[in-house]
Amino acid sequence: MRFQGKSLFLVVAAVLLVAAVATAGDVPMADNAYIGSEACFDCHDAADLGMQADVHMQIQSFEVQGREVGCEGCHGPGKLHMEESDPELIRTFAEGADYSESVCMDCHATKNLPEWDASIHALEAVACTDCHGVHGKRNKPNEACTACHADSRAAFELPSHHPLREGKMNCSSCHNPHSATDFMLKTRMRKADLCYTCHQDKEGPFIFEHPPVQEDCSLCHTPHGSVANNLLTANEPTLCLQCHDFHFHAGYRASDSLELEIGGIERENPFGPEAYQIAYTTNCTQCHARIHGSDTPSQTTTGWGEGLTQ
Ligand code: HEC
Ligand code: HEC
Ligand code: HEC
Ligand code: HEC
Ligand code: HEC
Ligand code: HEC
Ligand code: HEC
Ligand code: HEC
Ligand code: HEC
Ligand code: HEC
């Protein structure tokens, strides 16, 4: 019994030791020690490293619960590296290193990034340093994203687009690249709630709601860019005809006469027999102007339809 207990202890100790080494991973921990940021500058040029203004060099250890701060907060202990001047003995964040995330997350997990592990980016093994340049190599907004999402960026070049290339917004106006929400959108609720943050007038409440608007803006709109006007997925009337039938008289021939008497008043009929087609099969919103909802039922145009001829 005694013997078994002892070997169990050894096994546990060995597992713990392996775990400890595995956590440290890259940097040798045995006989290593922290030497402080000043020591690094003996051999590395402070200005070249572009860290003077970096927030990480201003952190005090009490702010991060006693974790190491300064250069070694990210690069790990530097004593062995200093003694040997060997780049193998320090964390370099070389491409493909699997520790980069855990190093950053050691400080950032709870405070900034509680959902990171469940995000698509984490699941797809996108690293912090794919988007965040340290050492003065700050990425401009959007640039980090477009390296991998060229197609999304390209959509903003289409004729109708959210004003991203005009500099009025960027990818993170709508996306939080650390979050676990649908499409990493900055909303926990419906997709439309994101849109309402900037387009409040579309939220209503309206007496006559248009059901697809309540359901999902993307039934009619595409968020990045579109060849159709107003970021629509298709131009009118095609858009509307995906769900609605033509007005029953849209297929009828109208009178050949260029003048018509309606309600006792002589009126022009400039399009003659094509009048119905021209009136009803161009822009449905000429008449149904409040497409996102209104307080009056399906409106007609004012002024006896004169708006249609303009
Ligand atoms: C005694 C001189 C010396 C000191 C002190 C020193 N280094 Fe180095 N370091 C070197 C040399 C030499 C290299 C290899 C240079 C090269 O490959 O361009 C190097 C390389 C590195 C690299 C890898 C660079 C690369 O491109 O792969 C990192 C990261 C690094 N040092 C960080 C540190 C940090 C952090 C400190 C302080 C904790 C530090 N060094 C202190 C001499 C030193
Ligand atoms: C916030 C974490 C962080 C801090 C703090 C930090 N580094 Fe780095 N360092 C990195 C990362 C990540 C890389 C990999 C290249 C990159 O992404 O810019 C790197 C790369 C390097 C390199 C090699 C590439 C180069 O630009 O020459 C050296 C040398 C280096 N760091 C030294 C230092 C020294 C010295 C300090 C303190 C003044 C320091 N680092 C502070 C994260 C950090
Ligand atoms: C020793 C703890 C620590 C480590 C390790 C660390 N950070 Fe930070 N970082 C902080 C603190 C503290 C702040 C400032 C307060 C804040 O925004 O949370 C900060 C701020 C930031 C910011 C936003 C502020 C800015 O203007 O730059 C980014 C981005 C960031 N860190 C990325 C990283 C990345 C990427 C890594 C890994 C290469 C990393 N951090 C490693 C503690 C740390
Ligand atoms: C896909 C690109 C991307 C990746 C990967 C990424 N970030 Fe970010 N991060 C951003 C962008 C963009 C912002 C600015 C967000 C904003 O302005 O709303 C940001 C902001 C931050 C901030 C400061 C703002 C805040 O949320 O408090 C910190 C800290 C940060 N990131 C740390 C990290 C760490 C640590 C990792 C790795 C675990 C990481 N990021 C991975 C793109 C990324
Ligand atoms: C290193 C490459 C890389 C970078 C940089 C990157 N992403 Fe991604 N992103 C991916 C991969 C891989 C996926 C998952 C596959 C896909 O949907 O394309 C993804 C998925 C997404 C998705 C879709 C999520 C879903 O639910 O389908 C969004 C939104 C996104 N990224 C936004 C961003 C934003 C915003 C940035 C810049 C802050 C960014 N990405 C930077 C690689 C990257
Ligand atoms: C106006 C808000 C908005 C902006 C700005 C925005 N997005 Fe999106 N993005 C969305 C919405 C909403 C979706 C979900 C689309 C859907 O329902 O299919 C989405 C979906 C995505 C997707 C996944 C689906 C796809 O189209 O491949 C990626 C990747 C993406 N966005 C990347 C980006 C990048 C990169 C940028 C910056 C260049 C950006 N987005 C800017 C709102 C936005
Ligand atoms: C961060 C703010 C913001 C968010 C979030 C946002 N938009 Fe926009 N949207 C704008 C701005 C700014 C414009 C340009 C207005 C202008 O040019 O007058 C715009 C324009 C539009 C246009 C008109 C485009 C054109 O060609 O004139 C449509 C349609 C639109 N947004 C729909 C949406 C939808 C749908 C969503 C949700 C997926 C959304 N927006 C989310 C800010 C936002
Ligand atoms: C049934 C299709 C449909 C749905 C669903 C829809 N829209 Fe629209 N939207 C349109 C049409 C058509 C236009 C063209 C301009 C017009 O006639 O009002 C438009 C124009 C816009 C415009 C630009 C012109 C303006 O009125 O400011 C914005 C912004 C907009 N929509 C936002 C939204 C938002 C936000 C949602 C979701 C809450 C949404 N739309 C849902 C059809 C739709
Ligand atoms: C995704 C499907 C869908 C699209 C696209 C769509 N609608 Fe609708 N629309 C509906 C539904 C569902 C109703 C409510 C049921 C009904 O009254 O037929 C409705 C109701 C209406 C009404 C009100 C009917 C009444 O009795 O007051 C009008 C007018 C209307 N839509 C016009 C349009 C126009 C114009 C477009 C194109 C800009 C359009 N719709 C696009 C689904 C859609
Ligand atoms: C010339 C003006 C005009 C045009 C253009 C127009 N409509 Fe209408 N629409 C009306 C009038 C008037 C009504 C009846 C309003 C009422 O009964 O309250 C109506 C009613 C509707 C209704 C309610 C259901 C019904 O049949 O009673 C729907 C849905 C509708 N229109 C869809 C469309 C679509 C889709 C288009 C484009 C293909 C379109 N409309 C073009 C004037 C127009």
Q: Which pLDDT belongs to residue 95?
A: 72
For ligand 3, atom 34, the nearest C-alpha belongs to: 104
Contact between 129 and 93 under an 8 Å Cβ cutoff? The reply is: yes
Chain-centre distance for alpha carbon 81: 40
Q: Which pLDDT belongs to residue 211?
A: 92
User: Ligand 4 test: best mutation among 93, 131, 173, 186, most atoms within 8 Å of CB?
Assistant: 131
Ligand 4 close to Cβ of residue 116 (< 6 A): yes
Q: Please tell me the distance from the alpha carbon of residue 160 to that of residue 220, in angstroms, as a whole number.
A: 14
Q: Which pLDDT belongs to residue 174?
A: 96
Q: Which of 48, 71, 49, 47 is nearest to 59 (CA)?
A: 71
Ligand 3 close to Cβ of residue 108 (< 6 A): yes
CB-based contacts of 77, cutoff 8 Å, min separation 6: 27, 29, 32, 33, 34, 35, 68
Q: Which pLDDT belongs to residue 167?
A: 93
* CA 172 – ligand 6 centroid, Å: 10
Q: Which pLDDT belongs to residue 19?
A: 36
For ligand 1, atom 15, the nearest C-alpha belongs to: 87
Ligand 10 close to Cβ of residue 167 (< 6 A): no
Looking at residue 298, the DSSP 8-state letter turns out to be S
User: Ligand 9 test: best mutation among 210, 245, 284, most atoms within 8 Å of CB?
Assistant: 210
For ligand 8, atom 27, the nearest C-alpha belongs to: 199
* CA 148 – ligand 5 centroid, Å: 7
For ligand 3, atom 2, the nearest C-alpha belongs to: 107
Q: Which pLDDT belongs to residue 17?
A: 39
Distances, alpha carbon 99 to alpha carbons 30, 76, 168, 280, in Å: 18, 11, 36, 63
Q: Which atom of ligand 1 is nearest to the CA of 75?
A: 35
- What stretches of the chain show up as alpha helix (H) in DSSP? 2-24, 37-40, 46-49, 71-75, 79-84, 100-108, 120-123, 128-131, 143-146, 150-155, 171-174, 191-196, 211-215, 238-241, 275-280
Provide the residue-wise pLDDT of the chain in tens; the chain has 310 residues: 344 444 444 444 443 333 333 333 577 788 899 999 999 999 999 888 888 888 899 999 898 888 999 999 999 999 999 999 998 899 988 776 667 678 898 899 877 788 899 999 999 989 888 888 888 776 677 888 998 999 999 999 999 999 999 999 999 999 999 999 999 999 988 889 999 999 999 998 888 889 999 899 999 999 999 999 999 999 999 999 999 998 888 888 888 999 888 888 888 888 899 888 888 888 899 888 889 988 776 555 555 545 444 3
Q: Which pLDDT belongs to residue 193?
A: 92
The encoded tokens of residue 254 equal: 């109208």
Neighbours of 21 (CB within 10 A): 12
Question: Which 3 state secondary structure label does DSSP give 24?
Answer: helix
User: Ligand 8 test: best mutation among 208, 291, 294, 298, most atoms within 8 Å of CB?
Assistant: 291
Q: Which pLDDT belongs to residue 1?
A: 36
Looking at residue 171, the DSSP 8-state letter turns out to be H
Q: Which pLDDT belongs to residue 46?
A: 81
